[in-house]
Structure 1
Amino acid sequence: MGILESAPALGESRSSGTLSGMDAGAGQVRSGEKRVGSEGGGKRSNLLIFGLGNTLLCDDGIGIYLGRRVSALLSGEDGCTGPRADFVEASLAGLQLLDYIVGYESLVIIDAIQTADGVAGQLYSFGEEELAATVRLTSVHDINLATALQLGRRLGMQIPSRVLIYAVEAKDIFTFQESCTPELNAVIPDLAVRICLDIREKYAG
């Protein structure tokens, strides 16, 4: 597999996949949020790395664990520098995301996903244009990411113009366990480097 495996367009076999932190009805906060600057001073940058998930539910925490590692790498750890970025970790979705992303030019979301035939640890990437196929207006308690982004723009909010999502195939998102399955723990270092390099390529300058 190359640096990333791009997810097929929605409507193909992968369309049954569920992003665990961004599924419909996931607008309720499930745990605390944390925001840090990439250089430790909390100074706002143009790029936000958002790790989504719940670290109490096994592989559902992969977005947070992986986001932490990617943030560290972009800050220069292990020599994998990249564009300056802020990092947020949280277990929320939908409209509540808007409070965190307003004012940033670019947004990178890292989350877990479960598809019909995926292999645990497999990495996918989505652009906002692919998410657009899922847009649907429902109640404020049942809203997906694409709808939230569109609504924010319609309200005149400064929503990031560039949105990229990295999703990792999860094996178990239901067991109460404060660590991922061995399959996912084993690939976190490699996936973090892949994502770091991809971000560096896409957001250079």
Structure 2
Amino acid sequence: MAVLIMGIGNYLMGDEGVGVHAAQRLAKETLPEGIDVLDGGTGGFFLMEYFENYPVVILIDATLDDRPTGSIRVIEPRFASDFPRAMSTHDIGLRDLVEGLAILGKLPKIYLFAVSIEMIQSQQIELSPELERVMPELLEQVKNMALRQNLELV
């Protein structure tokens, strides 16, 4: 196991589930050996084993910020404080998970693809037109990062 792409989010809350949508789409593609994909949903601490078992974890998650909807940023968080201030509804679990792994000395290399959203839409499984438009770019960026990291580990 080398690189894990993990989509985070709540599938039932519209754009907040962008990470889950991305992971589900990537899981349908044929990726090189050594790159795995996981729909992490809102797993929080239940995802700890994945962070412990992979040297590189690429996260995809939504963030509520002042950037235009669909903006994509890549962050390399090493501590909970490195995450965007306004992550989505499950950020506390993810931040705490990263902080705990850092304290234990088991934190893998993490890349967070933070995708800006305008709002959380309850009981909606579709992404907004703005996020559907940027999805191909997001998937391409994530795949390129995974391929680079996988090659570095070989």
> TM-score, normalized by length of structure 2?
0.77
Verify: 1:48 aligned to 2:1, yes or no: no
The structural deviation recorded for 1:202 is 3.7
Q: 1:162 to 1:129 in 2, by over 3 A?
A: same
Verify: 1:198 aligned to 2:145, yes or no: yes
Q: Higher mean Cα deviation, 193-202 or 145-154?
A: 145-154
One-letter identity of the residue aligned with 2:56: S
The structural deviation recorded for 1:166 is 0.5
Q: 1:59 to 1:145 in 2, by over 3 A?
A: same
Report which of the two has the higher share of helix: 2
CA distance in 1 between partners of 2:126 and 2:37 (Å): 20
The structural deviation recorded for 1:161 is 2.4
Q: Which residue of 2 aligns with 1:151?
A: 100
Q: 1:57 to 1:128 in 2, by over 3 A?
A: same
- Rg bigger for which structure? 1
Deviations 1:85-129 (A, max 9, x none): 22211322543321333221111111111102x111110111023
Verify: 1:166 aligned to 2:128, yes or no: no
CA contact (8 A) 1:95 1:143 kept: no
CA distance in 2 between partners of 1:201 and 1:132 (Å): 26
Q: Structure 1 vs Structure 2: percent identity of aligned residues?
A: 23
Q: Which residue of 2 aligns with 1:125?
A: 74
The structural deviation recorded for 1:174 is 2.4
> TM-score, normalized by length of structure 1?
0.60
Q: 1:200 to 1:100 in 2, by over 3 A?
A: closer
Q: CA RMSD in A?
A: 2.6
CA distance in 1 between partners of 2:18 and 2:75 (Å): 17
Structure 1: gaps of 5 or more residues: 1-44, 77-81, 135-141
Q: 1:130 to 1:122 in 2, by over 3 A?
A: farther
CA contact (8 A) 1:106 1:160 kept: no
Structure 2: gaps of 5 or more residues: 84-90
Q: Residue 21 of structure 2: SS of its match in structure 1?
A: helix
Verify: 1:96 aligned to 2:60, yes or no: no
The structural deviation recorded for 1:72 is 4.3
Q: 1:100 to 1:194 in 2, by over 3 A?
A: closer
Aligned length: 145
CA distance in 1 between partners of 2:115 and 2:41 (Å): 16
One-letter identity of the residue aligned with 1:55: Y
